[in-house]
Amino acid sequence: MLLPLVVILEQLEGYQPMVRLAPGRSEEQSFDCVYLLPDVFEPLPKVNTLFVSSADQLLARQGEIPEGITVICPKTEQMTEEAVEKIPCSVILLKQAGNLADFFNRLSVFFYGMNAWEREISRVLIQKENIQEFLNVSEPYFTNPIVIMNKSMMPVAYTRNLPFRHPDLIELGKTGRFPERMVIGIGRTVVEAEKYKTIGFMYRPNYLNCTIVIRAYQANPMQLNLACMYGVNSEPTQTDLHKMRFLTDAIEEYLSTMSDQGVSEHERNVCYLLDLLNGKISKRDLTSLSSLLTLPLHGNYRLYLIRCTSESIARSNYISELLRGRLPYVTAFPYQRRILLLANESTDTERQAVSGIITPVLNTYDSFCGISRKFEELSDFRDAYTQAEAAAQLGRTMHPNERTYDYSDYYIEHLIFCGIGEISWDNIFDHVLGRIAEHDKARKTDNLKLLEVYLNCDRNITMTAQIMHLHRNSVLYRLQRLEEEQNLDLSNPQTELNLQVSLRAFHLKEALQL
């Protein structure tokens, strides 16, 4: 393995190295081995060989030393900085002189370890083992944990034995998943990584409050996205960075040699659903393409649309992948910072099973869900999306403390909302509701609530009395007074429909704060 000069200097840091480069030599030079200075230079040594010499030997032989080599030697009374200038080759002078055998052995062990690691990485590449094996053979050469993620921000591989020393990473070590609060931070890491062609940095302040070394991968069959080294145990050194470059380059090579594994059934289904959603294929097109789909064209479909209170692409990808794992029979995928779940529910039991999985996820990740009506034709997917989106938006506005919103409960509100641009609010609901509300405010009564409960109970007096905690005769008397004061006929079906729609519009206007 070629090790750059800066890494060699870091290994000799305790000896206070000073570099004097020969003319034409660059600080970018690298080395792959270390030897004691030989008695005879035949054949001429390679320029990437590093030599170690005593000061006396180097001074005595300076006239015969090739210009292209680099020699390390300790500083002595004779080997001064002035004397170094007369030596034709590059010299690394150790100001804090130690035993020559000590730093030679230190470098020899270091080179041996790096070359052994390189051989292990080559073996993994040749045998085409899995990504985790790259980290398994690399772990002894790092002090900080490394995590490799896919495009859905799910950990694909991570170092198993290096201490994490951070609660979020400790949870990753226990569960194999990121805690929810890390998902947002990882999204920022993706943006940061896209700036760099090789490795880059994410400095404090960040979601882990430590330096993060990051590498983004190009499009690849495994859908790998990022490799991150988290500096939670120590600040990354120049040696750490060089190792990280080598490791991520090897993984990049591994990915480039993989044959395309083809499009999975899930991915193919998602592509066609997205085309349906975006109007790129028609219902007729879908019928002709049915042989390519594993989703039946006819079924008992329902669409669940999940939105996060704090929306981000990373969080949507993460929750989508999480639900795919828990609901393998449901088509789940992220779309415009939302998560779409298409379920084919033949029975109420199947719907309850889906809800039972979704509900705790909504609570854990502070999310909410709009649910479409049941539809039988897959080609109606776009309409189902409109319904689920409307249910999520209107439901969250009117009932923010709930998590799930069924479109059937917000159908009237959706019609009203769509008509706002054409009809003013004053014309949408009956003015009688405004008068009742004003009278309630002036008299400190609740006749508007009584009227709504009465209509919702299908004009059942007994049920209304129970809900309102009133005597049956009190309900009859108050409703009779309402009819007389407001000139209403509550037994008229048309009046009942008008009031029901008006009440829904009245509450929607309140929720929208218009």
Task: Tell me the three state secondary structure of residue 105.
Answer: helix
Q: Which helix (H) or strand (E) segment is 483 a member of?
A: helix 472-486
The whole-number average pLDDT for the span 391-413 is 91
Distance (Å, whole) CA 372 – CA 118: 55
Choices 1.10.1740.10, 3.30.450.40, 1.10.3720.10, 3.90.79.10: CATH for 128-257: 3.30.450.40
What percentage of residues in the chain have a pLDDT greater than 90? 40
pLDDT in tens, 117-173: 999 999 999 888 889 999 999 999 999 999 998 876 778 899 999 998 888 888 888
The arithmetic mean of pLDDT across residues 433-457, rounded, is 87
Contact 307, 338 (CB under 8 A): yes
Per DSSP, 490 falls in state T
Residue predicted with more confidence, 43 or 430: 43
Lowest mean pLDDT among 45-59, 158-172, 256-270: 256-270
Percentage of the chain modeled with pLDDT above 70: 95
Maximum Cα–Cα distance for the chain, whole Å? 121
393-411: average pLDDT = 92
Looking at residue 28, its pLDDT comes to 84
Instruction: Give residue-wise pLDDT tens across range 79-106.
Output: 888 888 889 999 999 988 678 888 899 9
Class of domain 3-108: alpha beta
**384: pLDDT strictly greater than 60:** yes
Query: Do the Cβ atoms of 259 and 133 come closer than 8 Å?
Result: no
Domain ranges of the chain: 3-108, 128-257, 265-409, 425-512
DSSP letters along 369-401, please? EEEPPPEEEGGGHHHHHHHHHHHHHHHHHH-TT
| Fold for the domain defined by 265-409 | Alpha-Beta Plaits (3.30.70)
Confidence at residue 249, expressed as pLDDT on a 0 to 100 scale: 93
DSSP annotation of 410 = S
Tell me: pLDDT of 308 over 80: yes
- CATH number for 425-512 (one of 3.40.50.12280, 1.10.20.140, 1.10.10.2840, 1.10.3720.10): it is 1.10.10.2840
What's the rounded mean pLDDT across residues 431-447? 84
Q: What is the pLDDT of residue 198?
A: 82
Paired strand residues for 369: 306, 404
Q: Reply yes or no on whether the pLDDT at 407 is more than 90.
A: yes
Q: Burial of 424 by CB count in 10 Å (0-12 exposed, 13-18 middle, 19+ buried)? A: exposed
Give the pLDDT confidence score for residue 482 in this predicted structure.
87
